[in-house]
């Protein structure tokens, strides 16, 4: 009888230990570096992402893209939060929660995600579910809430990446007229569109900063062969022309679309 009880006890302990090992998620420490905060979903189908470099230069990728810089106080606080044990614990708890059950999908749900290196976690609201407190995550997203609206503490004020000469061509489809926009290294832009006189436009400092940061992200990965319908052609400096956005830049579609939106808004097309 004692042997049977001992055997049962050992089996229960083994099961419990196994469950603990399955639930446990190892989250390595991550040195402070470039990070991003994204906001997705909602009734308006938003897809807003703020990319922040370790030096505070930030880029908003959205339907109304913008670039700027975070002030030293905000950047210092973000560095503290992103490298804190508290944030690592929140990342681990988020990973464990997603292992146990799928993330519920709610009406008009908005998901906010924070990523730095291998550290990544997200929260979705509203879901009418009680969730564990996430003070570090909440403060990080709170600090960057203005940046997600394109409101920065100051201009980007950085020499890198530099602005390359580029050409953006929109292919004519049905009632959407074709155009060609050329930008030189000084930030002067020219549009050529059927039925309109060619126009020159000097990009503002904000627009130049946004264009060069967007283009740097668009071309940072190798391009892919175009196997679907192309809507645009992009040439940066002396590189070959690439068709996009869906085919040539599959991983940088948000950045490509943000770039075209900025230039089309600038010229009113």
Sketch the domain layout of the chain as residue ranges.
Answer: 35-149, 166-267
Q: Give me the sign of the Cα torsion angle 245, 46, 69, 141.
A: negative
- For 57-84, write each residue's pLDDT tens digit: 999 999 999 999 999 999 999 999 999 9
Q: Which residue has the tokens 């599959």?
A: 250
Distance between CA atoms of 31 and 230, rounded to whole angstroms?
40
- Residue of 53, 56, 77, 39 whose CA lies nearest to 152: 56
- For 164-203, write each residue's pLDDT tens digit: 999 999 988 777 889 999 999 999 999 999 888 898 999 9
* Per-residue model confidence (pLDDT) at position 102: 66
Query: pTM for the complete prediction?
Result: 0.84
- What is the CATH class of 35-149? alpha beta
Least confident of 8-22, 24-38, 168-182, 215-229: 8-22
* Per-residue model confidence (pLDDT) at position 3: 44
Buried b / exposed e along 80-118 (16+ C-beta atoms within 10 A): ebbbeeebbebbbbbbeeeeeeeeeeeeebbbbbbbbee
Least confident of 17-31, 163-177, 178-192, 205-219: 17-31
Tokens of 239: 């590189």
- Residue of 24, 29, 220 whose CA lies nearest to 118: 29
């Amino acid at each position: 009888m004692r042997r049977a009880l001992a055997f049962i006890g050992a089996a229960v302990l083994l099961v419990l230990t196994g469950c603990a090992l399955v639930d446990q998620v190892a989250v390595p420490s991550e040195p402070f570096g470039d990070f991003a905060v994204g906001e997705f979903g909602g009734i308006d189908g938003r897809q807003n992402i703020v990319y922040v470099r370790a030096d505070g230069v930030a880029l908003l990728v959205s339907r109304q893209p913008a670039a700027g810089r975070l002030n030293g106080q905000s950047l210092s606080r973000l560095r503290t939060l992103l490298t804190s044990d508290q944030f690592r614990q929140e990342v681990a708890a988020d990973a464990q929660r997603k292992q146990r059950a799928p993330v519920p999908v709610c009406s008009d749900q908005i998901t906010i995600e924070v990523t730095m290196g291998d550290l990544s976690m997200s929260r979705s609201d509203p879901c009418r579910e009680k969730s564990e407190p996430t003070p570090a995550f909440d403060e990080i997203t709170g600090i960057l809430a203005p940046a997600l609206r394109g409101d920065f503490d100051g201009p980007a004020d950085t020499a890198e990446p530099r602005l390359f000469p580029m050409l953006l061509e929109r292919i004519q489809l049905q009632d959407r007229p074709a155009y060609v926009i050329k930008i030189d290294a000084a930030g002067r832009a020219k549009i050529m569109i059927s039925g309109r006189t060619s126009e020159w436009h000097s990009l503002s400092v904000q627009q130049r900063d946004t264009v060069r940061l967007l283009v740097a992200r668009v071309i940072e990965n190798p391009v892919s062969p175009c196997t679907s319908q192309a809507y645009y052609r992009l040439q940066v400096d002396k590189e070959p022309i690439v068709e996009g956005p869906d085919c040539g830049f599959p991983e940088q579609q948000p950045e490509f679309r943000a770039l075209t939106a900025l230039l089309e808004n600038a010229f009113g097309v």
